[in-house]
Chains A and B, each alone.
Chain A
Amino acid sequence: MGTRDYAFISLCLAAMLALGTGLLRQDRIAEPESFRPAQYQDDDFTSVVAKVNNEFRQHWSDNQIEFAPRADDLTIARRLSLGLVGTIPSLEEIRELQKHDPLYRQQWWLSHLFEDRRYSDYMGERLARAYVGTENGPFLVYRRRKFVMWLSERLNSNARYDSIVRDLIADKGLWTDTPAVNFVTVTIDQNNDRKGPNPIRLAARTTRAFLGMRIDCLQCHDDRLGNVALGTLDDPRDGLQADFHQLAAFFSEAKSSLLGVRDQAGEEYNYRYLEAETEELIPPAVPFSPELLPEDGNRRQRLAKWVTHRDNKPFARAAVNRIWALMFGRPLVDPVDDIPLNEDFPPGLETLADDFVEHDFNIQRLIRVIAETEVFQIDSRAPFEITNKHESSFAAFPLSRLRPEQVAGSVIQASSLKTIDADVHIVFQLQRYNEQNEFIQRYGDPGDDEFVEPGGTISQRLLMMNGDLVSRRSRANMISAANRIAQLTDDDKHAVEVVYLTVFSRKPSEKEQEHFVARLQEEKSMQFRTRTVEDMIWILLNSTEFSWNH
């Protein structure tokens, strides 16, 4: 054997050693700077969690609904990861999580996720769907990518939610330099008669996205079916066509030119109401709580201040309901943007909305509070028979189908033992980006319909069973999880456990452990072992458990 052979063997051994580090060495994940254990013991935090818990317990008791026990820590961590960064936790992250005190484990996990750029990028995209939809929008004057990046920056710095929304409604400038204005420019229809931002679309979007109310019906006529209740609790009234158009009038001054979006004082809003003979001048007015509307500022600024006013409860409720929906896969009030103005609210909503206002519209705190509640940590399985009633009351964690980018992101993460985050090499990030886009194109993106619950389809199943992404990602190669698990685990039991932790974020049950260990022991060759690990990963990726949040 020559020197070159020894060198080659040494290189191979070094490579094997390097590969093994992911499994054999406990990788160090940086301690998140925002993790403050004392905060989560503080009465200010625990009292609101307890209040939400009590409200749900009372609701279940009043309605004689049994509730499921607490889920295990890893299941809860998986939910948070899917909701906040759009993928499952890596084995590396699971190992780190398991080292932390169970009392603060979820809060540590949240700190870790919040400091991961994937959080703001993913949340930015999800929230952008509510603010500007998924369409590409008008040419040049609308830059969706810039908009999402801006939103991501604001979320990354945990900017106050009310300030984000004020910028969206009232900011001015160029769509490239002041990306918030894309909220306005997306409504420009360059090929139709009206060249400027469209007050009607802006009014509809503002009420749905920021107030959680659908008053679109009022665009064409007064409410005749009792669907849009305005006024106050003591003095409710049906919505009028004027309510919609007076709100739209706040956007009449918004104009767009090569210099960007600006406000042109004196630009009025005219509209011909149903059954009216002629158009009339519509003054700006808000559909409820007029006392909160300030006098100063231009029309959009006044509207922005009114929408985000501390006492404008629908604003806080809408934010809570949407964040809740992103975390649970299902809103508290369904549809997510159709919260009544004056009715009994479900448990949790008012308490969380009040806490959100009291803590300066702090989104990360809201997420932390929700994550700490019993209802978020409840199991999706129970010793009693779970029915739709249990799920709709959150007495058992509702099953919700993962979105396409969550499935793709999770397949990609499951093929690696290390975390595929913003710190991985650019080559891997590009690969991930391309694979994910290709997958979503074929899987189908539900677009603006964020929280519908259809079952899986044949096309999606075919894509998972035979498509390139799963085939490639479940196959053993130098750096894949399949290869590393087959080569480097101590024994068969350990191998099965690592596969389950990597793909399902949980340990296998006794039955599963027994079954797959027996599979691994059918033949004693590394080739067979590798192939069986590939099969196990493929099987788990093709399961309901993988494709659904639970």
Chain B
Amino acid sequence: MMQHNHSCGTAAHFSRRTLVQAAGLAGATWLTPLSQALAQQADTKSKPQAKSVIVLWLQGGPSQFETFDPKPGTKIGGDTVAIKTSVPGIELAQGFEPLAELMDDVSIVRSVVSKEGDHERATYNVKTGFRPDPTLVHPALGAVVCHQLPDDLEIPRHVSIYPNNWPARGGYLGDQFDAFKINDPSGRIPDVRTGVKDDRLKRRLDDLVNVVESEFSRGRVKDIDSKTLHKTSILNARRMMSSEQLDAFDINKAPESLLAKYGDTRFGRGCLAAVQLIEVGVRCVEVTLNGWDTHANNHELQRGQVDILAPAFAALVADLKERDLLDQTVVLCGGEFGRTPRINPLGGRDHWPHGFSVAMAGGGIRGGQIVGETDTDIDFDDRENRTKHVADPKNVEDVHATVLHTLGVNFQQELNTPVGRPMIVSKGTPIKQLLG
């Protein structure tokens, strides 16, 4: 009845950070949101290379010390050994040997900081680039990409393999941008095979559309399908059920030697399916590897996870390159936060959002780069100032902005949300060091 546009928009609504920046420029030009937006637009005019995204989602919070930011021989580093990579000066934790050889294509941001230390909230934060907001559900990165880069595919353009409780969502963009969820791609794809014969299904659908739907629309709101999208979604579902593109979900036809490179693990199979899906035109695939929440026995458990992740990650990068897809596919690998520098009495590490790592590759991202640095000597009890140990800190939204930039998405634009509140696509700044 009453619709209020009580916008708390973003470009029209100064953030504290912007104002602090502006205050720092006392006497200089006032950095208006408009000039920021124009600068951003100019910055995104270079031709984008990337077309799609693969997110290797490490649920639970991988330890940066046992993965992409080892600190051997230090108080906080534990027993983890570092290995050299193909890029002089860059070291990874032991176990990443397969990826180490491809370091020219991979970069690490070691200085990601956030304010969310709870799994659910931090997952939301890293997947959407925004902190949880009870008034609005933000879309995940893949949903934004699908929304901004429309195309006509017979299968879903946004896929989540091994979704847990918090798969990538469409948020305010709508459920139609939710990731399509599948489990092990060596098994059947859920819900695409009908349990009845074709002629029976056809008869059911004919009766549904011609009798039941037409009766319901009689006398009701004008152009009802534009509101409910019901008939449209039935037609699209039907199209998907008979599409040859469905084969991209199936990894059973892939050569065994290829699968072996990924490591014949659930996660490895998911990564192979992700590449096949990208090859047929899917925009974003999220592959989840659970099990990184190591509050006890951290080193052994993280190493077990690394043994699954490393071959799959490396094979995925190599396979994309082999198929000539790496340049057009951004690969993002990380979790919701990192783990504490201090090792607890159970030999575990706890949650640590104050400086953790994500790895990126492909899609025009410059390889062989290390962004930021975390200190080896951290005063763990200095609660007020934890990020002071991080050099060149990057916010979660900066990682999003970097990915969106490579895809040519104008991330400074504001989208209108269903509640009438304009919302910026990403409030981050692309990480220049990673841009080609």
Q: In the complex, which residue of chain A has the Cβ closest to the Cβ of B12? A: A225
State whether the Cβ of A43 lies closer than 8 Å to any Cβ in chain B.
no
* Cα distance, A453 to B419, chains bound together (Å): 10
A274 touches B212 (CB 8 A): no
* Chain A residues with CB under 8 A of B208: 539, 542-543
B204 touches A535 (CB 8 A): yes
B13 touches A225 (CB 8 A): yes
* Cα distance, A225 to B13, chains bound together (Å): 9
* Cα distance, A512 to B192, chains bound together (Å): 29
Contact string, B414-435, partner A, CB cutoff 8 A, digits 1/0?
0000110000000000000000
* Cα distance, A393 to B184, chains bound together (Å): 48
State whether the Cβ of A2 lies closer than 8 Å to any Cβ in chain B.
no
* Cα distance, A192 to B352, chains bound together (Å): 9
Minimum CB–CB distance for B284 against chain A, Å: 15
* Chain B residues with CB under 8 A of A137: 118, 120
* Cα distance, A227 to B222, chains bound together (Å): 33
> For this complex, into which size category does the number of interface residues on chain B fall?
35 or more
B386 touches A193 (CB 8 A): yes
Q: In the complex, which residue of chain B has the Cβ closest to the Cβ of A68? A: B219
**Among A148-156, A249-257, A382-390, the stretch in contact with B:** A382-390
B222 touches A386 (CB 8 A): yes
Minimum CB–CB distance for B183 against chain A, Å: 11
* Cα distance, A340 to B222, chains bound together (Å): 31
* Cα distance, A484 to B23, chains bound together (Å): 75
A227 touches B229 (CB 8 A): no
* Chain B residues with CB under 8 A of A135: 118, 120-121, 132
Given contacts A225-B13, A227-B6, A442-B190, contact A335 B212 (CB under 8 A): no
Minimum CB–CB distance for A223 against chain B, Å: 9
Select B191's contact among A444, A466, A544, beta carbons within 8 Å. Answer: A466
* Cα distance, A3 to B80, chains bound together (Å): 78
State whether the Cβ of A547 lies closer than 8 Å to any Cβ in chain B.
yes
State whether the Cβ of B234 lies closer than 8 Å to any Cβ in chain A.
yes
Given contacts A214-B6, A227-B7, A275-B19, contact A462 B212 (CB under 8 A): no
B117 touches A192 (CB 8 A): yes
Minimum CB–CB distance for B140 against chain A, Å: 12
A540 touches B221 (CB 8 A): no
A334 touches B117 (CB 8 A): no
State whether the Cβ of A392 lies closer than 8 Å to any Cβ in chain B.
yes
State whether the Cβ of B301 lies closer than 8 Å to any Cβ in chain A.
no
A338 touches B6 (CB 8 A): yes
Q: In the complex, which residue of chain B has the Cβ closest to the Cβ of A132? A: B134
* Cα distance, A460 to B237, chains bound together (Å): 9
* Cα distance, A305 to B176, chains bound together (Å): 43
Residues 424-461 of A at the B interface (beta carbon under 8 Å): 442, 444, 446-449, 452-461
**Among A21-29, A162-170, A394-402, the stretch in contact with B:** A394-402
Minimum CB–CB distance for B289 against chain A, Å: 19
Select A456's contact among B14, B180, B221, B229, beta carbons within 8 Å. Answer: B229
Residues 462-521 of A at the B interface (beta carbon under 8 Å): 462-463, 465-467, 471, 509, 511-512, 515-516, 519
B195 touches A382 (CB 8 A): no
Select B233's contact among A216, A217, A335, A455, beta carbons within 8 Å. Answer: A455
State whether the Cβ of A208 lies closer than 8 Å to any Cβ in chain B.
yes
Residues 341-356 of B at the A interface (beta carbon under 8 Å): 350-353
State whether the Cβ of A380 lies closer than 8 Å to any Cβ in chain B.
yes
Given contacts A135-B132, A386-B221, A452-B418, contact A544 B230 (CB under 8 A): yes
Chain A CB count within 10 A is highest, among B119, B169, B195, for B195
* Cα distance, A535 to B234, chains bound together (Å): 16
State whether the Cβ of A262 lies closer than 8 Å to any Cβ in chain B.
no
Select A455's contact among B2, B207, B230, B419, beta carbons within 8 Å. Answer: B230
State whether the Cβ of A205 lies closer than 8 Å to any Cβ in chain B.
yes
* Cα distance, A232 to B134, chains bound together (Å): 27
* Chain A residues with CB under 8 A of B116: 189, 192
Residues 205-258 of B at the A interface (beta carbon under 8 Å): 207-208, 211-213, 215-222, 224, 227-234, 236-237, 240-241
Select A386's contact among B120, B172, B220, beta carbons within 8 Å. Answer: B220
* Chain B residues with CB under 8 A of A216: 8, 133, 135
Q: In the complex, which residue of chain A has the Cβ closest to the Cβ of B194? A: A466
* Cα distance, A519 to B212, chains bound together (Å): 14
A515 touches B240 (CB 8 A): no
State whether the Cβ of B323 lies closer than 8 Å to any Cβ in chain A.
no
A334 touches B8 (CB 8 A): no
State whether the Cβ of A548 lies closer than 8 Å to any Cβ in chain B.
yes
Given contacts A191-B117, A387-B221, A539-B204, contact A133 B134 (CB under 8 A): yes
Contact string, A115-137, partner B, CB cutoff 8 A, digits 1/0?
00000000000000000010111
Given contacts A220-B15, A225-B7, A515-B207, contact A455 B221 (CB under 8 A): no
Select A512's contact among B174, B211, B234, beta carbons within 8 Å. Answer: B211
Can you sample 17 A-B contacts with CB below 8 Å?
A: A191-B352, A192-B116, A216-B135, A225-B12, A275-B23, A334-B419, A381-B218, A386-B220, A386-B221, A399-B220, A459-B180, A459-B191, A461-B236, A539-B208, A539-B212, A540-B212, A543-B212
* Closest 10 A/B residue pairs (Cβ): A191-B117, A455-B229, A381-B219, A454-B174, A462-B191, A346-B1, A461-B237, A217-B8, A461-B233, A544-B230
A sample of 19 more A-B contacts (CB under 8 A), given A191-B352, A399-B224, is A137-B118, A193-B386, A217-B13, A338-B4, A338-B6, A346-B2, A385-B222, A399-B228, A442-B181, A446-B137, A448-B137, A449-B136, A456-B230, A458-B180, A462-B237, A467-B191, A539-B204, A543-B212, A544-B217
